[in-house]
């Protein structure tokens, strides 16, 4: 059984279809990139996977004991979020909220988990820093540490390299690849197809009425890739 299985999924809002005929599954250890033009429905699909937007039709099933709250999410950063007035420690710790149960405070276990993931992301020294004073790359590491506190199984990222300079972008992609090699399953929305084919194991390319799903190798032989010019 896959972590996520979608069959004939229809996405949209209040009676308006955004994309349909979406079929794919995500298995443990996969690195899936969701690509498509602006407005194709990538973010809507991500919201559906996170349980924030219900599908308009089709099937969406979680398996392998993956609960809805066991997904680490790295949202698309807005200018407001970049200015968020909190310390690095507070932001990372907030990722452990789902493991607090009904207790209204962070315990020893949550603090240890936050520290472990901050060290893993090499931001422990930034613990007391104000988030908004960090560079774009450091902010993404903070959000990654936060997402890792929420899940050690599945990480969902929405356009994570937006606004990062080319060097930091490559470092970020390499970091995600390393996490994937360490066992974390990755789903990433990206408009950057050339990086998607370089790092991902699987590609889901969505358009309004059709979609491609398969391994990256299969994608490179597909009409979708050919129609993009074959070399982005």
Q: Which parts of this chain interact with ligand ADP (CB under 6 A)?
A: 13, 18, 36, 38-44
Q: How far apart are CA 62 and CA 47, in angstroms?
A: 14
Task: Tell how far CA 14 is from the center of its chain.
Answer: 25
Nearer to ligand ADP, 34 or 142 (CB): 34
Burial class (CB in 10 A: 0-12, 13-18, 19+), 3: buried
SS3 content of the chain, % helix, strand, coil (to 5): 40, 25, 35
Nearer to ligand ADP, 110 or 213 (CB): 213
Minimum CB distance to ligand ADP, residue 11 (Å): 8
Contact 38, 226 (CB under 8 A): no
Nearer to ligand ADP, 38 or 104 (CB): 38
| DSSP structure class, residue 87 | B
Q: How far apart are CA 46 and CA 63, in angstroms?
A: 17
Minimum CB distance to ligand ADP, residue 39 (Å): 4
Minimum CB distance to ligand ADP, residue 103 (Å): 33
Minimum CB distance to ligand ADP, residue 171 (Å): 24
Contact 22, 128 (CB under 8 A): no
Nearer to ligand ADP, 13 or 57 (CB): 13
Minimum CB distance to ligand ADP, residue 215 (Å): 22
Nearer to ligand ADP, 79 or 128 (CB): 79
């Amino acid at each position: 059984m896959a972590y996520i299985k979608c069959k004939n999924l229809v996405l949209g809002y209040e009676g308006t279809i955004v994309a349909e005929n979406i079929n794919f599954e995500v298995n443990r250890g996969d690195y899936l990139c969701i690509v498509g033009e602006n407005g194709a429905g990538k973010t809507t699909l991500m919201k559906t996977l996170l349980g924030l937007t219900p599908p308009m039709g089709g099937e969406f099933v979680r398996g392998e004991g993956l609960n809805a709250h066991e997904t680490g999410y790295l949202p698309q950063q807005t200018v407001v979020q970049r200015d968020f007035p909190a310390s690095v420690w507070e932001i990372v710790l907030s990722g452990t909220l789902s493991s607090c149960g009904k207790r209204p405070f962070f315990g020893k276990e949550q603090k240890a988990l936050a520290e472990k993931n901050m060290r893993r992301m090499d931001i422990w020294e930034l613990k007391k820093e104000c988030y908004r004073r960090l560079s774009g790359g450091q902010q993404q590491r903070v959000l990654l540490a936060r997402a890792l506190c929420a899940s050690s199984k599945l990480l969902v990222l929405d356009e994570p390299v937006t606004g990062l300079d080319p060097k930091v972008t490559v470092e970020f992609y390499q970091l995600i690849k390393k996490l994937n090699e360490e066992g974390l399953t990755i789903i990433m929305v990206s408009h950057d197809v050339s990086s998607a084919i370089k790092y991902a194991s699987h590609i889901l390319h969505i358009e309004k009425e059709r979609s491609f799903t398969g391994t990256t190798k299969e994608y490179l032989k597909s009409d979708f890739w050919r129609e993009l010019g074959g070399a982005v």
